């Protein structure tokens, strides 16, 4: 009898709990699946796992996806404001090209005494960059008042140019002379700062006689070097005399010779040399001797002008 009464009481309790659908801790019960955390993340997890409120666990079919062509996709978010990069600009990876851009105006031929690649003084031609916005004539980069360089052109100082300068420097030192590099590569931004500072100091008309506008400076080409004192105090020094007489032997030319301001657009700069490689420097020197002119400019050699158009 006691056993029957106890069995009846246990059966009644089980029915009551089943009808309420709750246990004593208040947790939801759904066919044996218990979820105590109702945060959004967990709800989404449950849905991804096939659980739905008040129903059995079931596999949710993946929604049908229609592929949209990339060109038809439009961004619906507001782009972030650009962050100013204050770091030093990286060297742009331009692709060298051996194609000639332009036709040489000179008929000069390579002299018989020009150095060959096996000779100490030989200087290979500079790299030619196959990019728009750069003027080449016979593989010689032209940067003057008529022809400019792109603002993002950032080749740094050409390695062959620097090595040839070291040869020049060593040979001058052997003769008791001190020739050193004072200024090499300058970026568009640096030239812009320098030029505008000179304009503020002397006015644009005067500044244009000795300073290049940004984009027109040979220093941005990575092929120009200023030596020693970068002013008229260098004129006539033993180093300046030796440099003008011998720089062509190493692949350089005196870029802005005396009495050529109307041709180059700049005053005489005894400290500024430009690297073109020994093949070209020997040709230019040979042509100058033929014309009875010790210092032939690129403008004269190639028949081009130099003024701000």
The pLDDT score that the predictor gives to residue 294 is: 86
- Among this protein's residues, is 40 annotated catalytic? no
pLDDT in tens, 215-262: 999 999 999 999 999 999 999 999 999 999 999 999 999 999 999 999
Mean pLDDT score, 300-304: 94
Distance CA 273, CA 275 (A): 7
What is the rounded CA–CA span in Å between residue 21 and residue 13? 13
The rounded distance, in Å, linking the Cα atoms of 111 and 291 is 15
Structure tokens at 45: 């997890």
Lowest mean per-residue pLDDT among 37-46, 49-58, 215-224, 246-255: 49-58
pLDDT band at 146 (very low <50, low <70, confident <90, very high): very high
In the DSSP assignment, the letter for residue 129 is: B
Residue 140 CA to residue 17 CA, distance in Å, equals 95
The CA-atom distances, in angstroms, between 123 and each of 3, 79, 118 are: 113, 50, 10
Average pLDDT over residues 40-61: 35
Say which of 218, 239, 269, 299 is annotated catalytic: 269
Residue among 247, 260, 250 at smallest CA distance from 299: 260
Residue 41, classified by CB atoms within 10 Å of its CB into exposed (0-12), middle (13-18) or buried (19+), is exposed
Of the candidates 275, 24, 7, which has an alpha carbon nearest to the alpha carbon of residue 139? 275
pLDDT tens per residue, range 163-205: 999 999 999 999 999 999 999 999 999 999 999 999 999 999 9
Q: H or E stretch including 254? A: strand 252-256
């Amino acid at each position: 009898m006691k056993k029957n009464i106890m069995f009846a009481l246990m059966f009644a309790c089980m029915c009551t709990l089943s009808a309420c659908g709750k246990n004593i801790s208040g947790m939801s019960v759904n066919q044996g699946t218990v979820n105590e955390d109702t945060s959004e993340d967990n709800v989404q997890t449950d849905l991804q796992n096939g659980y739905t409120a008040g129903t059995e666990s079931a596999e949710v079919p993946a929604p049908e996806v229609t592929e949209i062509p990339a060109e038809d996709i439009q961004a619906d978010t507001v782009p972030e404001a650009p962050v100013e990069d204050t770091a030093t600009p990286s060297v742009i990876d331009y692709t060298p090209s051996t194609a000639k851009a332009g036709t040489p105006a000179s008929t000069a031929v390579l002299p018989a005494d020009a150095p060959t690649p096996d000779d100490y003084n030989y200087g290979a031609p500079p790299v030619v960059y196959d990019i728009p916005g750069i003027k080449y004539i016979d593989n010689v980069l032209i940067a003057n008042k008529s022809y400019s360089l792109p603002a993002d052109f950032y080749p740094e100082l050409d390695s062959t140019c620097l090595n040839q300068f070291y040869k020049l420097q060593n040979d001058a030192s052997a003769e008791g002379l001190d020739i050193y590099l004072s200024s090499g590569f300058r970026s568009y931004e640096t030239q812009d700062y320098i030029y505008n500072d000179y304009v503020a100091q002397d006015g644009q008309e005067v500044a244009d006689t000795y300073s290049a506008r940004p984009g027109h400076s040979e220093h941005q080409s990575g092929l120009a070097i200023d030596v020693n004192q970068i002013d008229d105090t260098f004129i006539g020094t033993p180093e300046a005399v030796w440099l003008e007489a011998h720089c062509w032997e190493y692949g350089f030319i005196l870029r802005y010779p005396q009495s050529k301001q109307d041709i180059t657009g700049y005053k005489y700069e005894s400290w500024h040399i430009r690297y073109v490689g020994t093949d070209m420097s020997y040709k230019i020197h040979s042509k100058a001797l033929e014309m009875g002119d010790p210092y032939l400019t690129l403008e004269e050699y190639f028949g081009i002008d130099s003024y701000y158009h």
